[in-house]
A and B are shown apart, each in its own frame.
Chain A
Amino acid sequence: MKRCSTLSSERCVTVMGWKWNPSRYARFYAVQCGEIEVEKKIDDKIEQFITWIGKHPNKKSQICLTFYEVKTKQPSWFTNKIERLYWEQWNINLSAFQPPTKPPVGKSHHSKLVMDHPGEESEDISSRRTLLEQSLQEVLFQIIKFVNEKKDHVPPINDGVIYCPFEITFPSSSDSTFGMDMLKRMLHSGGHPSMLS
């Protein structure tokens, strides 16, 4: 989820903020866009994704983050007057798995014991967290590197534009719905040549 936040922040043209994300499995600083709408949208999608993962445990999934540019065009019979030009797409592959659940005696499984009392966490959790943090850092470095390498396709930043419109999609409970989402995207897409993934 930090990737989505970082990516949205990268494409956020206005003010930016940051927030300490005391995750149980990784301690990192998640850069967030200062826009409430952006944050709310991201949080809602994350909750839906978590729900979907709960229904499909141990299943590989993919989150698709796309940035588009809204353009209006001449309305016709089969097309809307609002057109989305997707100029960047990020595919985030995720594999969710159940971590070894060995809660300490007398403690709740979902307790924040690890973060509240870092000295009491087991070595296994600590090493796993360290690895996760390192991998996250590497991925974020990669994102920054990609973002900086390709800038020509980014639409011009106009005054008044706070952030680049985006959408987050992931496989829903049924594949057919996911396919419909992809179809809708294709219909809305104007065949932007510099679409990135």
Chain B
Amino acid sequence: MNRSSSNSEGAKAEQIIFEFFAKSLHIILESRTPFMSSRNFSGDQMICSPSPSCSSSSSSSVRPRDKWFNLALRECPAALESFDIGRRSSLEPLVVDVVLVARQPFVGDQMSLSDQDELACETKNEQVIERWLVQYDNRKVREAAASRSSSSNSKLQVMYKKATLLLRSLFVMVRLLPAYKIFRALNSSGQICKFKLVPKVPTIVEPFTRREEAEMQKFAFAPVDTVCGRLCMSVLYRSLSDVSCEHSAPVSPTFITDYVGSPLADPLKRFPSLPLSYGSPPLLAFQRRHSWSFDRFKASSPPPSVSCSPSPTRSDSQALVRRLPDIPTGRRKDEERDFSPPCSPSGPVSRGITRTESAPVRIPAPSFESKQNLVAPSPRLKLLRQASLKPVRNSGGAVESGAGLEKLFLYGREEFRRSSGVRLSTNSSPRISFSRSSSRSYQEDFDDNDFPCPFDVEYDEISDPSSRPGSFDQRGDIHEPPLESSGSYPKKSQDAAVGALVNMLKKAPPLRQDVSESSIPEIYWNNNKKPAGAHDVAAASMTASGIALAAKTTADALEELRSYKEMKNVLLSQSTMGSSSVTTSPFAVSGS
């Protein structure tokens, strides 16, 4: 008798436990499985039970399963029914994983207990946001069996009551966790979302890694003691911040300031984009160094004391020369001999000033040089340099001439371009001009490794078209190389050019010292007409190359000055003739 009653009580307990498992799974799936149809979902409010007033409702509207634990839920999915069949004879731990899956066509929407879903899962597209664990610990089976008392029925009632309360707590809990908001969002939106919730009941549970466990939070319900053991329930869940949002919210556009390749990020990284034909990579790597990095490589020789040139990048030029053996060094040496620093006769200073003298490279030579301008750009530039620098070296006013050349070059650059047919870029001209001298000076330095030249790069580019990224074409047009935009070359050359220009401007004679009697127009006129003398020859030679570029501009100015001078004379003569001639227009030009 006792045995039969105990068996019945054990069976009842087992049935309660089984129904507890089923109800737990039902509660979880109900709040995590998207609705199959919309008829069960009505706006923001949903009554799980068939009717709110269940007390007066007849039992016919309540399904048999709904009576368990007094909790009526939504219709069970088909998979839940299969759970009943498969788990009727076992009380294994129940694990429910709620997976947030990136929507893919091959992933099914229905829950499946088979291993196919597990194999189809891609880790990178799925994220387990919840793991529910419901298990029955029957370690007390033997102890409970030993202590059989008449109060086992009451124990069953207490067990059932506690299980009912636990399930209510579960009902509330599943709606408090962040996954429920996702569930609601997926069900409320009529559009296909990027993600979906897929509750799974894996047969093989993959444990979380430590990192995953650290990211998840745990909530454990108080266990329910049963006659045969205890019912335990817990959940591992991710906070909402860890879960990918179900809605692909538009990201406001932001500026990437440290974009790789931008000038702001790292100008040094611009060169790898250049084609290899324009130079070897190591060469480019060296070329990237800025002028301020010169000091790192130049420890022996002091920097130039003259401020006409900034600190050059010696290593760049050295590397460039080494990797371009086809540079006509011989010619450079010849140029060296003819080259004289315009700023100062001292050695280092002269080298620094030498760079500045490269400005008049593009100035068309006088008549004796004009023919030579038709050759290739690099040789033409070299010849120009020769012509321009020869007299400079021999004259005592080398400093002034150099500065004047530079100044005139800057003034008459436009006119020169029109006359010579050479198209200069806005930034390239000073660069090129400085590069010429710099390369020459560099050649000196290359020999003695004593004084660097920052402009070797530009010079070599000019001298060796093959090494330049399309700098010159057959017409002699100078195209800005891609390096122009980088800022390394132009910046370096421009700095040097600015320094040289400033120095030259300081020491250069004023362009218009005297309006009435100016030596410049006299020299100009003298040059055009006849050589007046030795000093005139020197002055003429000074203007021959250096002033040639701005010759037209100066000529125009002088012409205008002359006209004004004539007008002034006229006015003065008129004023002296009589004050009665007030009606005379000041701008009236006499017939003479």
Contact = CB atoms under 8 A, between A and B. Distances in A.
Interface string A122-154: 000000000000000100110011011101101
Contacts of B157: 156
B108 to A, nearest CB: 28
Interface string B485-507: 00000000000000000000000
Given A148-B221, A157-B164, A140 B172 contact: yes
B180 A17 contact: no
B572 interface: no
Contact of A148 (B70, B181, B222): B222
Contact of A14 (B54, B176, B221): B54
B161 A154 contact: yes
Contacts of B172: 6, 9-10, 31, 140, 144
Contact of A147 (B158, B165, B224): B165
Contacts of A18: 45-46, 48, 175
A156 B165 contact: no
A55 to B, nearest CB: 32
Given A19-B44, A34-B48, A10 B169 contact: yes
B176 A17 contact: no
A17 B48 CA distance: 5
Contact of B165 (A14, A36, A137, A148): A148
Contacts of A140: 172, 176
Interface in B211-263: 219, 221-222, 224
Contacts of A12: 168
A140 B71 CA distance: 21
A31 B180 CA distance: 12
Nearest to B221: A148
Nearest to A146: B222
Contacts of A144: 169, 172-173, 176, 221
Nearest to A9: B172
A31 B176 CA distance: 9
Nearest to B223: A148
A162 interface: yes
Nearest to B172: A31
A147 B166 CA distance: 9
Interface in A9-24: 9-10, 12-20, 22
Contacts of B166: 148
A34 B52 contact: yes
A156 B175 CA distance: 26
A35 interface: yes
Contact of A16 (B44, B49, B219): B49
A193 interface: no
A149 B46 contact: no
Nearest to B47: A17
A147 B222 CA distance: 9
Interface in B43-68: 44-49, 51-55
A16 B176 contact: no
- Of A13, A140, A148, most B-chain CB atoms within 10 Å: A148
Contacts of A15: 47-49, 51-52, 54, 70-72
Contacts of A22: 44
A111 to B, nearest CB: 19
A140 to B, nearest CB: 6
B169 A148 contact: yes
Contacts of B164: 13, 157
Given A16-B171, A149-B222, A151-B162, A29 B47 contact: no
B74 to A, nearest CB: 11
Contacts of A29: 175-176, 180-181, 184
A22 B168 CA distance: 23
Nearest to A21: B44
B176 A34 contact: no
A34 B56 CA distance: 13
A160 B53 CA distance: 12
A34 B168 contact: no
Nearest to A143: B172
Interface in B162-219: 162, 164-166, 168-169, 171-173, 175-176, 180-181, 184, 219
A16 B180 contact: no
A113 B306 CA distance: 70
Closest 7 CB pairs of A and B: A15-B49, A20-B44, A148-B222, A17-B47, A34-B52, A162-B55, A15-B54
22 contacts: A13-B70, A13-B164, A15-B47, A15-B48, A15-B51, A17-B47, A17-B48, A18-B45, A18-B48, A19-B44, A19-B45, A35-B52, A35-B55, A137-B176, A144-B172, A144-B173, A144-B221, A147-B165, A154-B165, A156-B158, A160-B55, A162-B54
Given A9-B168, A13-B164, A34-B47, 18 more contacts: A10-B165, A12-B168, A14-B54, A15-B49, A15-B51, A15-B52, A15-B71, A18-B45, A18-B175, A28-B176, A34-B48, A35-B55, A144-B169, A144-B173, A148-B165, A151-B162, A157-B160, A162-B54
